[in-house]
């Protein structure tokens, strides 16, 4: 690196050292919301980490299958006639099926009233001989939608089949049947229904994606691949279509294409953690075991979905706790925190003891800046549903952000008592132990994670930085090097290594030229205050003190302009060293450590 870095280095960003969006640094392993500038310091780091974890890592609960207790359909997803059930007898001579309604007495009042209203409308249409086939078909279809939303699939199926018979050109009915059979089975009927819907609207991307998924479920990747290809031609930035194309390529053992498509899908929808597993398998197929392990460690169950107005209409139909949970989850996904909170509150009015709704209300409140309100919601969940581990986890992160280490560790430990495999909770427990002066215990917790997931990013990084706390610099260096190899797309490892090489107190570890080389590579990817500090450290280690002074002054000016007065003191100490022609021997400030 010739000369000092541009002043832009110190002025463009005030991101913390660890930022998952770029992987460029090394503060709290909880991370931060992408694009959120934050001040360096334990409180700021932990709070933003809470936002990321609660809204990303656990968003899956809103997008998963409906639970019977919340939807109000206590009779079960395939219930037929129950005690007190009603039957809609069809008009004779049209080849229609009777619709047997389930017992709805256990549904909450708004949803029960909605379903009864649809039933009465249909009964009125059936009784009126003047009702046209189109109007009667619409009435059957509307009842079917309500039944499907309530997960009464058998009755919904009969309703849709009647609607399809009466209105054969209305693509909604085979489309909804495709989704119904996807859940209820058989899969062949799901495929046939989606094919029928696609025949009526050949360029509908959502139908193409769902049909491709159904083909993949049948093991027909060769048929699915061109379907996803057509969807991408129509909508190149569809993460769901790209995800399907990648899975089809993986099934066909075209690992290069699979890596490309699945990687693109993840870039388009980073919250879709379900992409990580097939991407890991694609890397494994290519022989890249390091990247395969890295993605395995990030796998989850949050899916990416196509833009689907018809299914969104179905999701918004029912006035039930689960329906409000789903709507609130969608609002969280797009960052509309007030709307999300409104939906969760409406859900809680119907189901006050629902732990998922209350936990997610706490998440939305935190995102709105109401940390106290968030804590109240989390505490209530831990009292009423102590087995709901996510509430213990979120409360723990919130407490840790307030430096209440002992209370936070209690919450993480409780989460692990109920779910020993809760990896994120164990990582957070390890970090809290390290910050509270128990680094040896922290290493034990990190190692348990690494025994389970050897390439887990945060555990690998946390273990390395805990070794720094213990002044075991050579081991820390070696661990960071291994982390770089396992996570080549995560610059936080190379940035931490550059700091260690530039300023470690151990002469056997320092290597100024290598530190500068790493910093130069990082500068090509992004520029930040913390990275500029690293450059200054490396320059000082190389004896280029005048340049180190210039860079450090630029860094301090940028920090002051960004309002980061609390970090200027440490910067001033390093500046004084460089002015006296002395190198830095403190690679990380205390509040930069995870």
In contact, 235 and 244? CB cutoff 8 Å: no
List the structure tokens of 239. Answer: 């993460």
Q: How many CA atoms lie within 13 A of 350 on its CB side?
A: 24
Distance CA 178, CA 197 (A): 8
Q: Quote the pLDDT of residue 269.
A: 92
Distance CA 579, CA 563 (A): 24
Q: What is the DSSP letter of 588?
A: S
pLDDT tens, position by position, 194-230: 999 999 999 999 999 999 999 999 999 999 999 999 9
pLDDT tens, position by position, 406-449: 999 999 999 999 999 999 999 999 999 999 999 999 999 999 99
Q: Counting Cβ atoms within 10 Å, is residue 87 exposed (0-12), middle (13-18) or buried (19+)?
A: exposed
> Which homologous superfamily is 8-57+386-592 in?
Tetratricopeptide repeat domain (1.25.40.10)
Q: Rounded to whole angstroms, what are the CA distances from 106 to 62, 83, 151, 184, 203?
A: 23, 11, 14, 22, 41
Report the DSSP beta bridge partners of residue 100. 87
> Which homologous superfamily is 206-313 in?
Tetratricopeptide repeat domain (1.25.40.10)
Q: Quote the pLDDT of residue 319.
A: 83
- pLDDT band for 101, please (50, 70, 90 cuts): confident
Whether residue 542 is predicted with pLDDT greater than 90 in this model: the reply is: yes
pLDDT tens, position by position, 292-349: 988 888 888 888 999 999 998 998 888 888 888 988 988 888 789 999 999 999 999 9
Q: Quote the pLDDT of residue 302.
A: 82
Q: Quote the pLDDT of residue 134.
A: 92
Q: Quote the pLDDT of residue 526.
A: 83
pTM passes above 0.75? no
Report the DSSP beta bridge partners of residue 99. 88
pLDDT tens, position by position, 1-45: 444 443 333 333 333 333 333 333 333 323 322 222 233 333 333
Mean pLDDT of 511-536: 93
Helix (H) or strand (E) holding 100: strand 99-100
| Residue 49 vs residue 312, higher pLDDT | 312
Residues in the chain: 594
| Residue 3 vs residue 474, higher pLDDT | 474
In contact, 480 and 464? CB cutoff 8 Å: yes
Q: Quote the pLDDT of residue 35.
A: 28
Q: Quote the pLDDT of residue 318.
A: 82
Mean pLDDT of 351-379: 95
Q: Quote the pLDDT of residue 85.
A: 61
Distance CA 82, CA 104 (A): 9
Phi, psi of 141 (to 5 degrees): -65, -40
Whether residue 55 is predicted with pLDDT greater than 50 in this model: the reply is: no
Mean pLDDT of 113-132: 88
Whether residue 503 is predicted with pLDDT greater than 70 in this model: the reply is: yes
Q: What is the Cα Rg of the chain in Å?
A: 28
| Residue 37 vs residue 385, higher pLDDT | 385
Whether residue 72 is predicted with pLDDT greater than 60 in this model: the reply is: no
Distance CA 153, CA 142 (A): 14
Distance CA 592, CA 18 (A): 9
Mean pLDDT of 386-408: 95
Q: Quote the pLDDT of residue 87.
A: 82
Matching fold, domains 73-170 and 206-313: yes
Q: Quote the pLDDT of residue 488.
A: 87
Q: What percent of the chain has pLDDT over 70?
A: 86
Mean pLDDT of 57-67: 36
Report the DSSP beta bridge partners of residue 88. 99
Report the DSSP beta bridge partners of residue 201. none
- pLDDT band for 382, please (50, 70, 90 cuts): very high
Q: For the chain, which residues make up each domain, given as ranges?
A: 8-57+386-592, 73-170, 206-313
- pLDDT band for 90, please (50, 70, 90 cuts): confident
Helices (H) and strands (E) in the chain, counts: 31, 2
| Among the four given CATH numbers 1.25.40, 3.30.310, 1.20.1530, 1.20.120, the one describing domain 73-170 | 1.25.40
In contact, 577 and 548? CB cutoff 8 Å: no
Q: Of 79, 98, 74, which is closest to residue 87 (Cα–Cα)?
A: 98
Q: Quote the pLDDT of residue 21.
A: 32
Q: What is the mean pLDDT of the chain?
A: 85
Per DSSP, which regions of 111-262 are E strands? none
In contact, 539 and 583? CB cutoff 8 Å: no
pLDDT-wise least confident of 74-83, 199-208, 268-277, 369-378: 74-83
Q: Quote the pLDDT of residue 344.
A: 96
* Residue where the block lists tokens 């102590």: 386
Per DSSP, which regions of 395-472 are E strands? none
Q: Quote the pLDDT of residue 547.
A: 97
């Amino acid at each position: 690196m010739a000369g000092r870095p541009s002043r832009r280095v110190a002025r463009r960003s005030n991101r913390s050292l660890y930022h998952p969006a770029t992987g460029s640094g090394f503060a709290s392993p909880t991370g931060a919301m992408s694009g959120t500038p934050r001040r360096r310091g334990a409180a700021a780091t932990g709070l933003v980490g809470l936002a990321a974890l609660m809204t990303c890592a656990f968003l899956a609960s809103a997008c998963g299958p409906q639970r019977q207790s919340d939807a109000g359909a206590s009779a079960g997803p395939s219930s037929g006639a129950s005690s007190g059930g009603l039957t809609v007898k069809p008009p004779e001579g049209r080849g229609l099926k009777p619709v047997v309604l389930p017992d709805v007495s256990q549904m909450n009042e708004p949803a029960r009233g909605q379903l009864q209203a649809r039933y009465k409308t249909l009964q009125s249409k059936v009784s009126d001989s003047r009702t046209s086939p189109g109007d009667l078909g619409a009435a059957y279809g509307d009842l079917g939608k309500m039944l499907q939303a309530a997960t009464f699939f058998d009755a919904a199926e009969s309703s849709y089949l009647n609607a399809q018979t009466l209105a054969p050109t209305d693509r909604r009915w085979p489309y909804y049947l495709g989704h119904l059979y996807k859940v209820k089975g058989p899969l062949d009927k799901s495929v046939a229904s989606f094919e029928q819907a696609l025949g009526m609207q050949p360029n509908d991307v959502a139908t193409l994606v769902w049909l491709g998924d159904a083909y993949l479920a049948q093991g027909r990747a060769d048929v699915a691949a061109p379907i996803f290809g057509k969807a991408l031609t129509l909508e190149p930035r569809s993460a769901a279509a790209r995800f399907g194309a990648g899975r089809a390529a993986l099934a066909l053992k075209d690992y290069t294409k699979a890596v490309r498509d699945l990687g693109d899908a993840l870039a388009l929808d980073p919250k879709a953690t379900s992409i990580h597993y097939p991407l890991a398998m694609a890397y494994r197929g290519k022989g890249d075991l390091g990247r395969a392990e890295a993605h395995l460690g990030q796998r989850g169950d949050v899916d990416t979905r196509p833009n689907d107005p018809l299914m969104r209409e179905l999701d918004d139909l029912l006035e039930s706790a689960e329906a409000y949970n789903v709507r609130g989850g969608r609002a969280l996904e797009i960052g509309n925190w007030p709307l999300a909170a409104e939906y969760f509150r409406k859900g809680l009015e119907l189901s006050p003891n629902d732990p998922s709704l209350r936990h997610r209300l706490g998440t939305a409140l935190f995102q709105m800046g109401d940390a106290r309100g968030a804590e109240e919601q989390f505490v209530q969940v831990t009292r009423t549903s102590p087995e709901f581990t996510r509430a213990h986890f979120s409360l723990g992160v919130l407490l840790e952000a307030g430096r209440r280490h002992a209370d936070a560790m209690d919450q993480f430990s409780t989460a692990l008592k109920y779910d020993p495999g809760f990896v994120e909770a164990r990582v957070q427990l390890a970090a809290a132990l390290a910050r509270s002066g128990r680094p040896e215990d922290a290493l034990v917790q990190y190692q348990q994670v690494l025994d389970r997931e050897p390439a887990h990013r945060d555990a690998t990084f946390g273990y390395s930085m805990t070794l720094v706390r213990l002044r075991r610099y050579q081991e820390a260096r070696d661990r960071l090097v291994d982390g770089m190899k396992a996570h080549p797309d995560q610059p936080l490892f190379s940035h931490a290594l550059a700091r260690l090489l530039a300023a470690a107190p151990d002469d056997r570890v320092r290597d100024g030229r290598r530190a500068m080389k790493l910093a130069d590579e990082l500068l090509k990817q992004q520029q930040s205050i913390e990275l500029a500090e690293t450059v200054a450290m490396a320059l000082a280690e190389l004896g280029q003190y005048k340049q180190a002074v210039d860079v450090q002054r630029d860094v301090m000016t940028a920090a002051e302009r960004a309002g980061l007065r609390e970090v200027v003191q440490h910067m001033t100490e390093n500046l004084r060293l460089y002015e006296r022609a002395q190198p830095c021997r403190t690679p990380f400030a205390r509040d930069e450590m995870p």
